[in-house]
């Protein structure tokens, strides 16, 4: 690729169709719970989404993730039992109408999804001192979550559904999957082909929460700060979010 001439801007952006596809993927991603099909996921497709996860950014290039692939129904049943116990406990933490709504939500597809995948973090992988983690020790965990997001978006591009199950005690997952002490379970994912993707996030459709206005979440120079550029950007944010709510990629 030729360098830009002095005074000219280098063009590193994707073309319009490629850019629209990236945004469409982000907007169409859903947390899948109840739409899994029993069809197996081909190894080449699984390899592609795992490769996408492995190419996630990581602080200090530590690449702290590993992937525990679960297809065995007996293991899935133990995980499901751990979920059921924790979900019963969780329901009691809500009151009134919220408890009623919570009890009607489908929050996992552990037994139905052909693949369960535990994304883990090896907190010792890069040694005791890591570039970028010298003062914020959780950066390895944050890096592992980047791998989850990469995998999720790659899976959506493949037409696969992904559901993140987080309602169980980490100690239970650690025991079921025989994780060493230094290995932290970060995300337990259900993966598979689906009958359909929902138009909206399930919790939004159920009335649990609505998407917050993005323009209310942006601050300028300091928390609560405003400046002369604020009004114009907030207007652009409103327009972009209105498009996104209709599944239209930003223009």
Q: Is residue 170 part of a domain?
A: yes
Shared-domain flag, residues 220 and 150: no
Structural contact between residues 141 and 184, judged by C-beta atoms closer than 8 angstroms = yes
Structural domain including 197 reads 29-209
Phi, psi of 115 (to 5 degrees): -125, 130
Structural contact between residues 54 and 65, judged by C-beta atoms closer than 8 angstroms = yes
Total domain count, the chain = 2
Shared-domain flag, residues 67 and 173: yes
Shared-domain flag, residues 48 and 86: yes
Per-residue pLDDT of the chain (251 residues; tens, 9 = 90+): 455 666 666 788 899 999 999 999 999 999 999 999 999 999 999 999 999 999 999 999 999 999 999 999 999 999 999 999 999 999 999 999 999 999 999 999 999 999 999 999 999 999 999 999 999 999 999 999 999 999 999 999 999 999 999 999 999 999 999 999 999 999 999 999 999 999 999 999 999 999 999 999 999 999 999 998 899 999 999 999 999 988 888 77
Q: Is residue 251 part of a domain?
A: yes
Rounded Cα gap, residues 179 and 120, in angstroms: 9
Rounded Cα gap, residues 56 and 67, in angstroms: 14
Q: What is the token pair recorded at 38?
A: 């029993």
Domain end point (choices 194, 209, 224) = 209
Q: Is residue 11 part of a domain?
A: no
Shared-domain flag, residues 186 and 249: no
Shared-domain flag, residues 64 and 133: yes
Cβ atoms < 10 Å from Cβ of 12: 7
Shared-domain flag, residues 165 and 149: yes
């Amino acid at each position: 690729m030729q360098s830009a001439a002095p005074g000219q801007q280098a063009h590193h952006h994707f073309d319009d169709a490629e850019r629209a596809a990236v945004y469409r993927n982000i907007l169409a991603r859903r947390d899948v719970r109840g739409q899994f099909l029993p069809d197996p996921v081909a190894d080449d497709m699984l390899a592609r989404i795992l490769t996408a996860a492995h190419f996630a950014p990581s602080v200090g290039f530590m690449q702290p993730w590993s992937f525990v692939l679960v297809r065995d129904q007996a293991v899935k049943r133990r995980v499901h039992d751990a979920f059921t116990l924790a979900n019963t406990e969780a329901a009691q933490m809500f009151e009134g109408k919220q408890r009623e709504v919570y009890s009607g939500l489908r929050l996992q597809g552990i037994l139905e999804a052909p693949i369960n995948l535990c994304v883990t973090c090896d907190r010792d992988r890069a040694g005791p001192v890591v570039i970028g983690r010298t003062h914020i020790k959780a950066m390895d965990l944050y890096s592992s979550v980047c791998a989850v997001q990469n995998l999720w978006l790659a899976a959506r591009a493949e037409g696969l559904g992904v559901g993140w199950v987080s309602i169980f005690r980490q100690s239970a997952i650690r025991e079921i999957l025989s994780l060493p002490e230094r290995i932290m379970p970060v995300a337990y994912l259900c993966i598979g082909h689906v009958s359909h993707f929902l138009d909206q996030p399930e919790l939004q459709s159920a009335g649990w929460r609505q998407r917050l206005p993005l323009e209310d979440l942006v601050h300028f120079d300091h928390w609560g700060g405003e400046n002369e550029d604020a009004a114009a950007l907030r207007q652009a944010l409103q327009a972009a979010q209105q498009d996104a709510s209709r599944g239209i990629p930003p223009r």
